[in-house]
Amino acid sequence: MKEAIFLTTDRKETRRKKGLWGGMGRWARVRRLLVALLLGFIVGAYGGTALAEATVIGIAWRPNMKAETFVDLCRSVEEAGGVCVVLDPVRSSDLSYDDKGRLTKGVTEIGTLDEASAKLVRCNTWHDSNAGDVVRDVDFVMFPGGEDISPTLFYTPEKWLDNGEDKTFSAERDVSDYLLMSYCLDHDIPLLAICRGMQMLSIVSGAEYVQDIPAYFKDKGLEYPYEHRNRKPAPNAYRNFAHHDVTVVKGSRLYEMVNTGTLRNAPSWHHQCVKNVDNTRLAVTGFTVTNGVNIIEAVERKDKTFAVGLQFHPETAIGKNLDDAGDKDEFLEYGTAMAIFEWIIEGGFNGQRDAA
């Protein structure tokens, strides 16, 4: 039995034993009460040696663990009855770090990996890294949203496209996520990758990439209605999530989880996207159409047991409901968002794929 794991977030502190305690929604409370009563009988009958095993979810490291989507991802795992463990960063022995884990060289002025360091990461992937140690005690890995990815890491490296607004990069996280993603794929460790996570899954798999959606539309001579990320109302103002519908491909892993062909008002916050998955092992399993242009919203690797990417944020819909936010009804329905996490926690990823 794995030890009880403790997670502290900025919004909410949880100290819950794996398999007994998680989120405290009404049905989650009922389920856990029943489990606790059952375990009481088992412990009394068999000397206390049997305890329930819960799915242990490793959340890929990011520098800012107070970020809204990161906290809500952890809360969603717990609400579904799983155990959330924040993983250590993955580091490459091909690169140099200081005693605080920061890269000592190979980082540009804007925070991206330089071309030489990115090439080492792309070519050597997880080899000569601590990736195996990082995921040793987890059942499943989730990659959360966050900063833009260094364009030098793309399958075909690119120069940074300065859109005058986005300059948020973390070279250390780029290395960590790329190495961890490649390790999970090579060792068939089940994973869910959200927003930036889906983009990293696609980049590691060799997909083409769009650095800035508004610029992409402008190059096509089209108006962009900002369906995927709202315009910022003021320099220091809070920018809420956009929302739009997502068409789900029947027979996909995503369809198995949500059992619907349309996700209404999926929370969205991205200005980059996967351009196409041609000549890769990825399959598009969800999309939306924005002013006549297909934007990829979900992908999966059908050659793996479970490797699914979502460009939208189901954890945000859950977080808004847990907080009873005034705009919660504007976003993806709580039960539909929870179905994704409950399906994973209940071990759906271990089963056979449904026939298409």
- Dihedral of alpha carbons 26, 61, 311, 326, sign: positive
Please count the helices (runs of H) and the strands (runs of E) in the chain. 10, 13
Q: What is the pLDDT of residues 125-153, one digit of tens each?
A: 999 999 999 999 999 999 999 999 999 99
Contact between residue 191 and residue 57 where contact means Cβ atoms under 8 Å apart? no
First to last CA, the chain: 37
Burial class, 310, CB count within 10 angstroms (exposed 0-12 / middle 13-18 / buried 19+): buried
Burial class, 106, CB count within 10 angstroms (exposed 0-12 / middle 13-18 / buried 19+): buried
Tracing tokens 């405290």 back to the chain, one arrives at 24
Residue 51 predicted with pLDDT over 50: no
In the chain, pLDDT over 90 holds for what percent of residues? Answer: 77
Q: What is the mean pLDDT of residues 241-250?
A: 96
Q: For the chain, what is the mean pLDDT?
A: 86
Q: What is the pLDDT of residues 322-334, one digit of tens each?
A: 999 999 999 999 9
Residue 164 predicted with pLDDT over 90: no
Q: What is the pLDDT of residues 196-223, one digit of tens each?
A: 999 999 999 999 999 999 999 999 999 9
